[in-house]
Amino acid sequence: MINIMIQLLGAFLAIFGLSIIVAVPKKYLWLTGLIGAIGWGTYLLMGNFTESMYLSNFMGALAIGLSAQISARIFKLPVTTFTIPGIMTLVPGSGMYNTVYYLIAGNELLSREYMIQTLLNAGSIALGIFLMGTVFTLVFSRRKKHEYEDVI
């Protein structure tokens, strides 16, 4: 239990910091951190039900997509303001690093393995965000077709 609390707090702080780097406005920093923690929590929770890292990432991305879409509509901001910081704990940055690391270190087999894993993980996350975006566009955009859609 304490371990999970540390993990969630770590995710919140990491995303809080990353949001500062990508210049999210100050008053939304807590929200991007919270969305990141929700995504990371979902990812950890899915670990109890499935062995598949891809499915866990996909569900995490769905949770981030949902909370980001709701936040974007409440605060009338572009939805990427919340999705991009939100996915920053899930995205396979270290996988990308390991792919190139082992390629240069001369271990092609391991490099290839990391590459496939990285692409599938990135694909799962992109699919989750994309799917949630499509659902929200279908549900909400029909009513106000003539307005400027600032949150897509």
Partner 1 sequence: MTVINYDNRTKELFNTAILAGELLAIYGAETYRVEETIIRILALAPTGRGEALATLTGFSVSFDSNKSGYLTAVRRVNYRRQRFDKIIVVNEISRKLCSGEIGLTEAHEKLNDLKTEKDKTKGHYLAMAIICLSFTVMFGGNWQEALMAGLAGIISAIALVLLAKNDTGTFMSDIVASFFIALVAYIGNYVGFSEYNMNLAIIGGIMPLVPGVAITNALFDTLHGDYLSGAARGLEALVIALGIVLGIFLGLGLCEGLGGGIL
- How far apart are CB 89 and partner 1 at their closest, in Å? 8
Nearest C-alpha neighbor of 62 from the set 78, 85, 80, 86: 86
From the list 113, 127, 135, 137, which residue makes contact with partner 1 (rule: CB under 8 A)? 127
Residue 77 CA: distances (Å) to CA of 24, 28, 74, 95: 11, 10, 8, 31
Q: What is the dihedral of CA 148, 127, 12, 69, to 10 degrees?
A: 20
Instruction: Confirm or reject binding of residue 64 to partner 1 (CB under 8 A).
Output: no
From the list 45, 53, 70, 96, which residue makes contact with partner 1 (rule: CB under 8 A)? 96
The conformation of residue 147, written as its DSSP 8-state character, comes to S
Instruction: Confirm or reject binding of residue 139 to partner 1 (CB under 8 A).
Output: no
Name the maximum alpha-carbon separation found in the chain.
57
Residues 71-90 that bind partner 1 (CB under 8 A): 77-78, 80-81, 84, 87-89
From the list 39, 60, 65, 92, which residue makes contact with partner 1 (rule: CB under 8 A)? 92
Q: For the chain, how many helices (H) and strands (E)?
A: 6, 0
Residues that bind partner 1 (CB under 8 A): 6-7, 9-11, 13-14, 16-18, 20-25, 77-78, 80-81, 84, 87-89, 91-97, 99-101, 104, 118-119, 122-123, 125-127, 129-130, 147-148, 150, 152
